[in-house]
Amino acid sequence: MQIGPHPATGRGAAARPARGLGPQLLRTYEILRARNGHLGWWPGRTRIEVIVGAILTQNTAWSNVERAIARLRAARLLSVAGLRRATDPQLEAAIRPSGYFRQKRRKLRAFLALLDRAYGGSLARMARAPTAALRAELLATWGIGPETADSILLYAFGRPVFVVDAYTERIAMRHGWIHPPRRYDRLQALFTRHLPTDADLYNDYHAQLVWVGKHHCRPQPRCHDCPLRVLPGRRQIPGGSRATEAPSAGR
Ligand code: SF4
């Protein structure tokens, strides 16, 4: 994804982090919370559903994940036992709508292998693991990168781990909160250094940034009606931004 400087100010890519970034990051959340309320993520009924969703959402729209999850549920495979007993063709057929279904079948199997090897197949035991150790194990699992690992830690296990994604990066760059080089851990530290360590705050903050990314901070930004247009350092939008239809709400 190509991310340039803030479309209104021209600053961002080479900008230094803003002074008083902590208050600005908190203000960002307050604005979005006031606009949307608590978004109540993650959209999943059970711990394993959240984990499956975190893996299936890689490189695809959430609507495709919802279709795959519905098919898993209909086939009675949306449980640790169900995933374990499914044959490869059954699993691939169910998750096909999420794309890259062979890779994702392998990733689900790799997660189950970790669960079985290190926790006797028990999510309850995994839930008692220290955060740093569990994160390291997840990152050592085939097909699980930082965003997926942190989504599992935060949304399946309630750990105070901030999740960053492409939307987070785009918003941070355009507002000059970070400067290159852009790396996952630097972006994550930007938030964890300046925000209270609070799993519920991290949960909803990430959800709110995804909302901004989907509805406003798109490749062609829609700043003119974005709630974050009031943040400090931002000037008048030159010529306005192109109005495009917002996607439906959801993850
Ligand atoms: S769309 Fe919103 S978040 Fe993105 S640059 Fe414009 S004001 Fe900032």
Query: What pLDDT is attached to residue 245?
Result: 27
Q: What are the tens digits of pLDDT across the range 11-44? A: 443 334 445 899 999 999 999 999 999 999 998 8
**Does ligand 1 come within 6 angstroms of the Cβ of 56?**
no
What is the token pair recorded at 33? 């919370």
Q: Give the model's pLDDT for residue 247.
A: 31
Q: Determine, yes or no, domain membership for 209.
A: no
Percent of the chain's residues with pLDDT above 90: 80
- The answer to whether residue 235 scores a pLDDT higher than 50 is no
Q: Does residue 181 lie within any of the structural domains?
A: no
Which CATH number goes with the domain that contains 132?
1.10.340.30
Q: Give residue 103's domain range.
A: 47-156
| Binding site membership of 170 for ligand 1 (Cβ less than 6 Å) | no
223, 231, 237, best to mutate for ligand 1 pocket (most atoms within 8 Å of CB) = 223
Domain count, the chain: 1
Q: Is residue 106 part of a domain?
A: yes
Distance between Cα 226 and ligand 1 center (Å): 6
Q: Is the CB of 72 under 6 A from ligand 1?
A: no
Regarding predicted confidence, which is higher, 125 or 16? 125
Please name the residues in contact with 56: beta carbons below 8 A apart, sequence gap of 6 or more: 64, 65, 68, 69, 95, 98, 104
pLDDT band at 246 (very low <50, low <70, confident <90, very high): very low
- Taking residues 220-226, what's their average pLDDT? 95
Whether 221 maps to a domain, the answer reads: no
Position 180 scores a pLDDT of 83
Taking residues 188-213, what's their average pLDDT?
97
**Hey, whose CA ends up nearest to atom 7 of ligand 1?**
229
CB-based contact 222:8 (threshold 8 Å): no
With a 6 Å cutoff on the Cβ, whether 209 touches ligand 1 is no
CA-CA distance, 85 to 120, in Å (whole number)? 16
Q: Is the minimum distance from the CB of 176 to ligand 1 under 6 angstroms?
A: no
Whether a cis peptide bond, with omega within 30° of 0, leads into 89 is no
User: Is residue 117 one of the residues assigned to a domain?
Assistant: yes
Residue 25 belongs to a domain:
no
pLDDT in tens, 1-13: 334 444 444 444 3
* 120 falls within a domain: yes
Residue 82 lies in a domain: yes
Contact 191, 25 (CB under 8 A): yes
pLDDT tens figures, 49-108: 999 999 999 999 999 999 999 999 999 999 999 999 999 999 999 999 999 999 999 999
CA of 175 to the centre of ligand 1 (A): 8
pLDDT at 181 over 90: no
Question: For residue 228, is pLDDT > 80?
Answer: yes
